[in-house]
Amino acid sequence: MKEIAINIKAQNKPGVLRDITDMMAKCGINITYTYLFMENIQTASIYMELECVHNVEKFIENIKNFKEVISVKVHRSMGEIYGKRIIIIGGGAQVAMVAQGAITESDRHNIRGERISVDTIPLVGEDELAEAVSAVGRLPRVEALVLAGSLMGGKISRAIDEIRKDHDVLIISLNMPGSVTEKADLVVTDPVQAGVMAVMAVAETAIFDIKKIGKNRF
């Protein structure tokens, strides 16, 4: 087992994370994802996804040798559990309808072994929406972004340009006024169908190539 996910519960003290990651580096272990959160004033948890772990038992033993470490647990990675992510951003009514289509279609593929999860956030305002779109570039495992609203452009379109510089994310937009539809890979009028097509576009268990559709609107 060369790729693992671990959760370390440790005392909340300065330098604990530094010491643990320093040990990992000396062992040639690469950290592919990490998330640190506080449980209370005394303790914190560190979730990490790692590669190049050649001896898991010895590695876990080395972590437990740190006096600040309370416990270490090995898990499947978030990619194996939650899989590819579809993010839906926009107005409440439109987001709900897109999510209905995406969740229903995801269920059809997930029961066949796929792993697709759907995240949503209803927002109002150009600045708020642009900030949320920009943040997609900082989220792990995102395969598709669906923009579900009645009018989007300006800063939101510029945010799409920014995330596309460094990330290969499929952009699907509802058919609406504004320049966002010009930036999208796919424009769909029906919100439920937009959710369904987003899942089909990223699922390995679907036969659907969005590149063959071109810039047509549906």
Q: Which of 21, 49, 78 is the last residue of a domain?
A: 78
Q: Are 24 and 50 within one domain?
A: yes
pLDDT for res 18: 93
β-pair partners for 217: 187
Specify whether 118 is located in the same domain as 86: yes
Distance CA 82, CA 76 (A): 10
* CB distance 143 to 86 below 8 Å: yes
Q: Cα(24)–Cα(59) distance, rounded to whole angstroms? A: 9
Q: Are 90 and 148 in contact (CB under 8 A)?
A: yes
Domain that holds residue 129: 82-212
Predicted confidence at residue 129, as pLDDT, reads 95
- The predicted-structure confidence for 109-167, as pLDDT tens digits, reads as follows 999 999 999 999 999 999 999 999 999 988 999 999 999 988 999 999 999 999 988 88
Question: Do residues 165 and 151 lie in contact, with contact meaning Cβ atoms separated by under 8 Å?
Answer: no
| pLDDT less than 50: residues of the chain | 1
